[in-house]
Amino acid sequence: MKAILCRAYGLPDTLTLEDIPSPVPGPGEVLIQTKACSLNFPDTLTIRNMYQFKPPLPFSPGSESSGIVTSVGEGVKHVKPGDRVFTFGSHGGLAEERISDARTTIPLPKGMDFITGASTMYAYGTSYHALKDRGQLQPGETLLVLGAAGGVGLAAVELGDMMGATVIAAASSDEKLAVCNEKGATYMINYTKEDLRERIKDITQGKGVDVIYDPVGDKWAEPAIRSLAWRGRYLVVGFAGGEIPKIPLNLALLKGSSLVGVFWGMFTQKEAALSQQNMQDIAIWAMEGKISPYISKHYTLAEAPQALTDMMERKVIGKAVVVL
């Protein structure tokens, strides 16, 4: 089978496309013929050995994928050969066949196509957990989303709007902000051209925002936190901007605000029942057409390194998907 391989940590152009033997599933594992693999920012970190999960070399990157079960290992009962599934894990999606942990292999809702199946759960799972379970977002509140046209950011825009919040999207280009507007943002801020704090002050008439969803960190985190309303909640989602910011704690005191961590992967393990309920909600909304991932570009397996480069260069809007 063909697979993209990371043989030594490095940038996407060091990845190779190779023919390797088909893997065999062990106990509790599932072998899946991959149909689509959507990229997530952590994939760009894993290949550089900069992420918390460190698969042994060589490995195929790609955390989130969908496909057809071809065989199952001992003890696997809930899926069987022929089933259409999606799955996620630290790696393995950028290959024609993928070994997956049965616990993270979930039947695709009937009628959901492979590309949507590979692009929904990670982004919406993270953003729904963040906004509902960690941010306690309420109808009528204001939600600021940074990096709002990225994979998890755009899901937060769509879910925030659906949950009845007024969404303010912040991103680096007018093209990205137009998509955020389409997905439910009422106000748009181009944070490479406009002063984030001043715009939030204007939009909220001096009150500040109730919840901030921040997958970017870096230089945007502090001005955003300074723009919180009384009892606001700032959600620590990620650091795609590079630097992990250091925040003066008096800012939390002054607004009676909360700085709240979000770790979806760990949540799916530690609070499995609630996570499964969240997944069901997301699947239902996707099937009802209330949410849909914005897929800006399809790539072939051979083009996967380019897709990862595009993500690192902030060229992707919504999701980039490798279709096999």
> Which residue ranges make up the site for ligand NAP (CB under 6 A)?
40-42, 126, 147, 149-153, 171-172, 176, 215-216, 237-242, 262-265, 311-312, 314, 316
State which amino acid sits at residue 312. Answer: M
- CB-wise, 186 or 309, nearer to ligand NAP? 309
Q: Which is nearer to ligand NAP, 84 or 91 (CB)?
A: 91
Pick from 238, 51, 259: nearest CA to 153: 238
Q: How far is the CB of 273 from ligand NAP (least distance, A)?
A: 18
Distance (Å, whole) CA 140 – CA 315:
33
DSSP state at residue 45: H
From the CB of 242, what's the least distance to ligand NAP, in Å?
Answer: 5
Q: Which is nearer to ligand NAP, 91 or 176 (CB)?
A: 176
CB of 298 vs ligand NAP, minimal distance in Å: 16
Tokens of 122: 């990670």
- Report the residue number, 24 or 50, with the smaller CB distance to ligand NAP: 50
Q: Least distance in Å: CB of 89 to ligand NAP?
A: 13
Q: Would you say 115 or 240 has its CB closer to ligand NAP? A: 240
User: Which of 31/189 has CB closer to ligand NAP?
Assistant: 189
Partners of residue 183 on adjacent β-strands: none
* Distance in Å, CB of 279 to ligand NAP, minimum: 14
At 34, give phi and psi (nearest 5°): -75, 135
**HSE-up of residue 182 (Cα within 13 Å, Cβ side):** 13
Query: Residue 79 region, left (φ>0) first, then alpha (ψ -120 to 50), else beta?
Result: beta
State the minimum distance, in angstroms, from the CB of residue 248 to ligand NAP: 22
Going by their DSSP bridges, the two strands 105-107 and 84-88 should be labelled as antiparallel
Determine the residue type at 218: D
Count of H helices and E strands in the chain?
Answer: 10, 15
Q: How far is the CB of 305 from ligand NAP (least distance, A)?
A: 15
The token pair that represents 127 in the structure block: 């953003």
What CA–CA distance (Å, rounded) separates 268 from 283?
16
Q: Which is nearer to ligand NAP, 69 or 299 (CB)?
A: 299
- Which residue lies nearer to ligand NAP by CB, 41 or 299? 41
Closest separation in Å from C-beta 263 to ligand NAP:
5
Report the nearest approach of ligand NAP to the CB of residue 152 (Å). 4
Q: How many CB atoms lie within 10 A of CB 1?
A: 14
Strands 142-146 vs 105-107: parallel, antiparallel or unpaired: unpaired
State the DSSP code for 300: -
DSSP string across 73-94: -TT--S--TT-EEEEE-SS--S
User: Of 172 and 258, which CB lies nearer to ligand NAP in the complex structure?
Assistant: 172
Closest CA to 32 of 67, 77, 82, 4: 67
Task: Name the residue with the smallest CB distance to ligand NAP.
Answer: 150
